[in-house]
Amino acid sequence: MKRVQFNRPLLPYLLILPQMAVIVIFFYWPSAQAIQSSFYIEDPFGFGATFVGMANYQDILSSREYLKIANFTVVFTFLVTFLSLAIGLLLAVKADKVIRGSSAYKTLLISVYAVAPPVAGLIGVMFFDQHIGPFVDLAAWFGWDMRVGIDYWDTAIAMITISVWKQIPYNFIFFLSGLQGIPVSVVEAAAIDCRSPVRRFWTVVLPLLSPTAFFLLIINMTYALFDTFGIIDTTVKDKAANNPITLVYKVYMDGFRGNDIGGSSAQSVILMLVVFVLTVFQFRFIERRVHYT
Amino acid sequence: MKQVTLSNVSKTYPNGVTAVHPTSFDIEKGEFLVLVGPSGCGKSTILRMIAGLESITEGDLDIAGKRVNDVEPALRDIAMVFQNYALYPHMTVFNNMAYGLRNRGTSKAGIDKAVRDAASMLNLGEFLDRKPSQLSGGQRQRVAMGRAIVRNPALFLFDEPLSNLDAKLRGQMRIEIRALQRRLGVTSVYVTHDQVEAMTMADRIVVLNAGRIEQIGTPSEIYHQPRSTFVASFMGAPPMNLIDADYRGNGRVYLAGGMDLPAPVETGRPGAVKIGVRPESARMVETETAGALPFAIDHVEELGAIRLFHGTLGGQPFTVHTSHEHAVPEGTAWLDLRSSTVLMFDGATGARL
């Protein structure tokens, strides 16, 4: 790495100032505010706040509804992350082997990524619509009376399907470029050393993809936890009622629909802690198995 | 005994480009065969077809008496050393060598012994726990060799394995690879574009040009008895001097500038020919003697042990190779080709007459 020595010691700080300003204004400042208001109960009409200590946290953690949503969030995050990574990888491996018409094929797969999450949600909702949705028709074919928006698990399946569908292209792009970064001769050497293509994939290709996979793991978990908000919102049509939602959506519902600023802040602080612990865990324990060339 | 047989093997790509025209040759058991030629001559394609990394368009390939056209690479009982080594970057040196054995179900003790034997043979003992990124180019080359050796295959394939090394290391590895191959007695096919590697390492050389075999022979045959002007100019540095001349069927060839030489061979058909003389075969004299030809020296290359005189003979470029003791003449010198090996090639086809 190239080192530059600055004559004036203030200059480097000045240069990183814009970046720091963005982080402080848009991340640390709201975070600090959230932490602060999580210890207060705020008047819904904005007339002052009362300090209540840990009461908001106690309320949340003793709420059965909150625990149910937390459970669902874990299941949802795991399934969305796992499925979108697995399907993205599968498609990338297949696309990597396509020789004829590969660019058209890749463009088709990637184009889904250009769809904004709420739009993807809307398209998805139409797919699962009670009257015109082809997926509902397909389910009916197998004798499954699918009621998205009414039945808890049917809604969950629709939400997961749409979220996975939306994220596959992103994973596909990264996995494909990762695959194309593996030297051809290494793959050929493996073909001489090992007869089974499946075994070759697990022992040579996947380890060489591990930096990409690790990066995508973090991105996908973040996506499943936070960025699926728009998809959930359109699927439950802004009125969650009995339908499954994730913790982030609950923060929004309680804060902006329920006007419970204190409780909502406490929830977001809990989420922040969960993400912090998860990230530390990923870097400490999973990254060790990653091979960077 | 024949270890590998190619019968009319050819390669045409889906876009219609023919990389290798129907080619046939045998490789004897224990032989070190070198495929040499300029880039794009099809030498690597032939090697990759033998390895099974490239499909064979037409013809038959037999390894150890079995047709292997449709056998996958892992089942052909071959090992290959790649140009850029192609080591598995995420595996240690030990695992790089053990990988092929593990996939073949060799016992743990057997793997351990094979890898340690190969490692000690290649002086890699202390590096077994390292990753390829922690090794130098020469060491990586050795690991690639080790990976081939531990498998004890019927055939070694080398795809320009030394071209990523610096000149000094290349000379050293050349000798090591050849010594190792002699010791193990494994049949080997070695692809290179470097004629020095081909000359020094091969039992037999296959010279390729534009997807066709120009000549197959021992290094000495290839060097001294080239079948075409292509082989004559490709092998040897500096290459053989080739001079346009006219053969009139009267036992002499006529060069530009009114010079003439006795024809080295008699053929029935007079016409344009090329006269070939190796630079070290031409004798330079300082005074005109009977039958000597005037040689205008342009510049002298001083290479320590030898001197190369570049100039023109009858207006055509000509190089003479002498020992360093040979005096540097002033201006024009004289070439006495009476005792030289002179070859004659067809002026149109380049085939030797």
DSSP assignment of A75-116, as one string? Answer: HHHHHHHHHHHHHHHHHHHHHHH--TTHHHHHHHHHHGGGS-
Interface of B with A in 119-158 (CB under 8 A): 133, 147
Chain B residues touching residue A208 (CB < 8 angstroms): 89-90
* CA-based nearest distance B144→chain A, Å: 10
Q: Are A196 and B102 in contact (CB under 8 A)?
A: no
Q: Which residues of B touch A183 (CB under 8 A)?
A: 84, 86
Q: What is the pLDDT of residue B164?
A: 84
Mean pLDDT in each 10-residue stretch from start to end of chain B (353 residues)?
89 90 92 92 92 92 90 91 91 93 91 92 90 90 91 91 86 90 92 92 93 93 92 90 87 83 81 90 82 86 89 89 82 81 87 87
Q: How far does Cα B87 stand from its chain's mean position? A: 25
Q: Is the dihedral of CA A238, A239, A242, A247 positive or negative?
A: positive
B89 and A199 within 8 Å at the Cβ level: the answer is no
What A223-227 contacts at long range (C-beta under 8 Å, 24+ apart), as own/partner pairs, is A223/A80, A223/A81, A223/A84, A223/A163, A223/A167, A223/A170, A224/A76, A224/A77, A224/A80, A224/A81, A224/A163, A224/A167, A225/A73, A225/A77, A225/A271, A225/A275, A227/A117
> For B103, which of A195, A291, A293 is closest by C-beta distance?
A195
Cis peptide before B161 (omega within 30 of 0): no
A192 → closest Cβ in B74, B89, B133: B74
Tens of pLDDT along A105-123? 778 877 877 888 778 778 8
Name all domains of chain B by residue range, CATH numbers in brackets: 2-232 (3.40.50.300), 239-346 (2.40.50.140)
Q: Which pLDDT score, from 0 to 100, does residue A128 have?
A: 86
Which chain A residues contact residue B72 at CB under 8 A? 191, 195
Give contacts of B103 with chain A, Cβ < 8 Å.
193-196, 199
Select the residue of B72, B75, B82 nearest A189 (Cβ to Cβ): B82
Pick A199's closest partner by Cβ from B78, B82, B103. B103
Say what the pLDDT of residue B350 is.
87
> Is the CB of B86 inside 8 Å of chain A's CB atoms?
yes
Cβ distance B89 to A186 less than 8 Å, yes or no, reads yes
Reply yes or no on whether the pLDDT at A1 is more than 60: no
Edge-first strand listing for the sheet containing B155-159: B78-81, B155-159, B187-192, B32-36, B204-209, B212-217
A100: nearest CA in chain B? B14
pLDDT at B310 (0 to 100)? 92
Cα separations in angstroms, B268 against A34, A213, B242, B350, B353: 103, 73, 21, 17, 10
Residue B92 at interface with chain A, using a CB cutoff of 8 Å: no
- Confidence tier at A2 by pLDDT (50, 70, 90): low
Which residues in chain A have Cβ-Cβ distances shorter than 8 Å to B88?
Answer: 186, 189-190, 204
* Contact assessment for residue B237 and residue B306, using Cβ atoms and an 8 Å cutoff: no
Higher-confidence residue of A83 and A253: namely: A83
Residue A113 pLDDT: 78
- Which residue on chain B is closest to A187 by alpha carbon? B86
Residues of chain B found within 8 Å of residue A98, distances taken between Cβ atoms: none
Domains by residue range for chain A, with CATH: 66-289 (1.10.3720.10)
The tokens describing A182, both together, are: 């593996």
Asked if B75's CB is within 8 angstroms of A293's CB, the reply is: no
B99: nearest CA partner in chain A: A193
CA distance A6 to A16: 14
pLDDT tens-digit readout, A24-75: 999 999 999 989 988 988 877 777 788 888 888 988 889 898 999 999 999 9
| Record: contact B51-A192, CB cut-off 8 A | yes
* Lowest-pLDDT range of A129-133, A285-289, B196-200: A285-289
| Complex ipTM over 0.90 | no
Is B15 an 8 Å CB contact of chain A? no
- The predicted structure's pLDDT at residue B37: 92
Overall residue count recorded for chain B in this entry: 353
- Distance CA(A254)–CA(A34), nearest Å, equals 14
**Residue B100 contacts A, CB cutoff 8 Å:** yes
> How far away is chain B from the Cα of A209, in angstroms, using its nearest Cα?
10
CB B40 within 8 A of CB B55: no
Which pairing describes strands B271-277 and B241-247: parallel, antiparallel, or unpaired?
antiparallel
HSE, side-chain direction, 13 A CA sphere, residue B112? 3
Asked if B189 reaches chain A (Cβ–Cβ under 8 Å), the answer is no
Residues in chain A: 293
Among residues B157, B172, B176, B168, the alpha carbon closest in space to that of B83 is found at B157
Which residues of B are less than 8 Å from A186 in CB distance?
86-89
pTM: 0.81
Dist. CA B151–CA B185, nearest whole Å: 14
Picking from B52, B74, B89, the nearest residue to A194 by CB comes out as: B74
Cβ–Cβ below 8 Å for A186 and B87: yes
